[in-house]
Structure 1
Amino acid sequence: MTISLELKTLHCDSVASEKADLLIVLLAKESASATASGDACGLAELVQQAEKSKDFDRSKPGDTLALYRFAPVAARRVLLVAAGQASPADVRKAVQAATAVLRHEQVKKAVVWLDVAEPTEATVSALVLALQNATYSYSATRPSSKALGLQKIILGVPDKAGVQAAFQTAQGIGAGVELAREWGNRPANHATPTELAEVARSLAKNPRISATILGLDDITRLKMGAFLAVAQGSVQPPQFIELNYQGADKDEAPVVLVGKGVTFDTGGISIKPAAGMDEMKFDMCGAASVLGVFQALAQLQPVINVVGLIPATENMPSGTAIKPGDVVTSMSGQTIEILNTDAEGRLILCDALSYADRFKPRAVVDIATLTGACVIALGGVRSGLYANNDELAQALLQAGEQAQDWGWRMPLDDDYASGLKSNFADVANVAGREAGSVTAAKFLQRFVGEWPWAHLDIAGTAWKSGKDKGATGRPVGLLTTWLLGLATQTDGVVKKKAGKTAKGKKAD
Structure 2
Amino acid sequence: MRFSLSSTGLQEWNGNVLAVGLPKGDVDSTATALERRFAGITEILKQQEFKGKPSDQLVITPLSEGPQRLVVLGLGDADGIDADSLRGAAARAAKASIGCDGTLGLQLPWTGTADADAEAARISAEAVRLCLYTDQRFRKESDPRRSPDALELIDLDPAAISGFAAVNATCAGVELARELVAAPPNVVTPAALADTAAGIAGDHGLELKVLERSDCEARGMGAFLAVSQGSDLPPKFIHLIYRPEGEVKHRIALVGKGLTFDSGGYNLKVGAAQIDMMKFDMGGSAAVLGAMRSIAELKPSGVEVHMVVASCENMVNGSAVHPGDIVTAANGMTIEINNTDAEGRLTLADALLYACEQKPDAVVDLATLTGACVIALGDEMAGLWSNNDGLAKSLDAAAQMGGEGLWRMPLRNSYKDGLKSLLADMKNTGPRPGGSITAALFLKEFVAQDTAWAHIDIAGPVWSDKGKGVNPAGATGYGVRTLVNWVLAQS
Q: What TM-score, normalized by structure 2, do the two folds share?
A: 0.91
* Equivalent residues of 1:350, 1:444 under 8 A apart: yes
Partner of 2:440: 441
* Equivalent residues of 1:63, 1:97 under 8 A apart: no
CA 1:258–1:69: 2 relative to 1, 3 Å: same
* Equivalent residues of 1:10, 1:113 under 8 A apart: no
- Separation of aligned partners in 2, 1:134 and 1:393: 29
SS at match of 1:343: coil
Please state if 1:57 is matched with 2:51. Answer: yes
Partner of 1:397: 396
SS at match of 1:292: helix
Partner of 1:266: 263
Partner of 1:494: none
* Equivalent residues of 1:12, 1:33 under 8 A apart: no
* Equivalent residues of 1:62, 1:94 under 8 A apart: no
SS at match of 1:241: strand
- Separation of aligned partners in 1, 2:49 and 2:188: 48
Partner of 2:176: 179
Letter in 2 for 1:75: P
SS at match of 2:423: coil
Letter in 1 for 2:341: D
SS at match of 2:395: helix
Partner of 1:76: 68
Percentage of matched positions with identical amino acids: 38
- Separation of aligned partners in 1, 2:295 and 2:127: 20
Q: Which runs of 5+ in 2 are unaligned?
A: none
- Separation of aligned partners in 1, 2:378 and 2:430: 22
Please state if 1:428 is matched with 2:427. Answer: yes
Partner of 2:474: 470
Which of 80, 84, 91 in structure 2 is aligned with 1:89? Answer: 84
- Separation of aligned partners in 2, 1:47 and 1:263: 52
- Separation of aligned partners in 2, 1:23 and 1:466: 26
What are the Cα deviations for residues 313-360 of structure 1, in whole angstroms up to 9, with x where unaligned?
A: 111011111010000000111000000000000000000000012211
* Equivalent residues of 2:369, 2:459 under 8 A apart: yes
Letter in 2 for 1:357: C
Alpha-carbon shift at residue 151 of structure 1 (Å): 5.0
Partner of 1:376: 375
Please state if 1:12 is matched with 2:3. Answer: no
Partner of 2:386: 387
CA 1:143–1:321: 2 relative to 1, 3 Å: same
SS at match of 1:171: helix
Letter in 1 for 2:104: V
Partner of 1:349: 348
Which of 191, 194, 215 in structure 2 is aligned with 1:194? Answer: 191
- Separation of aligned partners in 2, 1:162 and 1:406: 29
Alpha-carbon shift at residue 133 of structure 1 (Å): 2.1
- Separation of aligned partners in 2, 1:436 and 1:352: 21
Letter in 1 for 2:18: L
What are the Cα deviations for residues 423-449 of structure 1, in whole angstroms up to 9, with x where unaligned?
A: 111110000201000000000000000
Partner of 2:103: 110
Aligned residue pairs, count: 477
What are the Cα deviations for residues 374-393 of structure 1, in whole angstroms up to 9, with x where unaligned?
A: 00000012210000011111
Alpha-carbon shift at residue 215 of structure 1 (Å): 1.4
Larger CA deviation: 279-288 vs 172-181: 172-181
- Separation of aligned partners in 2, 1:421 and 1:228: 22
- Separation of aligned partners in 2, 1:68 and 1:230: 56
Alpha-carbon shift at residue 155 of structure 1 (Å): 2.1
Partner of 1:453: 453
Please state if 1:204 is matched with 2:201. Answer: yes
Letter in 1 for 2:185: A
Alpha-carbon shift at residue 124 of structure 1 (Å): 2.1
CA 1:250–1:278: 2 relative to 1, 3 Å: farther
Alpha-carbon shift at residue 33 of structure 1 (Å): 11
Q: What TM-score, normalized by structure 1, do the two folds share?
A: 0.88
CA 1:432–1:469: 2 relative to 1, 3 Å: farther
Q: Which runs of 5+ in 1 are unaligned?
A: 488-508
- Separation of aligned partners in 2, 1:268 and 1:378: 26
CA 1:13–1:40: 2 relative to 1, 3 Å: farther
Partner of 1:220: 217
* Equivalent residues of 1:32, 1:115 under 8 A apart: no
* Equivalent residues of 1:420, 1:427 under 8 A apart: yes
- Separation of aligned partners in 2, 1:274 and 1:191: 24
- Separation of aligned partners in 2, 1:38 and 1:256: 51
- Separation of aligned partners in 2, 1:401 and 1:65: 29
Larger CA deviation: 114-123 vs 404-413: 114-123
Please state if 1:247 is matched with 2:241. Answer: no
- Separation of aligned partners in 2, 1:38 and 1:406: 36
* Equivalent residues of 2:252, 2:361 under 8 A apart: yes
CA 1:8–1:203: 2 relative to 1, 3 Å: farther
Partner of 2:295: 297
SS at match of 2:11: helix
- Separation of aligned partners in 1, 2:120 and 2:27: 16
Alpha-carbon shift at residue 249 of structure 1 (Å): 3.9
Alpha-carbon shift at residue 32 of structure 1 (Å): 11
CA 1:28–1:245: 2 relative to 1, 3 Å: farther
Letter in 2 for 1:70: L
* Equivalent residues of 1:108, 1:152 under 8 A apart: yes
Alpha-carbon shift at residue 461 of structure 1 (Å): 1.1
Letter in 2 for 1:470: G
Letter in 2 for 1:57: K
SS at match of 1:432: coil
* Equivalent residues of 1:10, 1:156 under 8 A apart: no
SS at match of 1:484: helix
Larger CA deviation: 307-316 vs 297-306: 297-306
Which of 143, 152, 155 in structure 1 is aligned with 2:149? Answer: 152
- Separation of aligned partners in 1, 2:247 and 2:229: 37
Alpha-carbon shift at residue 28 of structure 1 (Å): 4.3
Letter in 2 for 1:109: G
SS at match of 1:12: coil
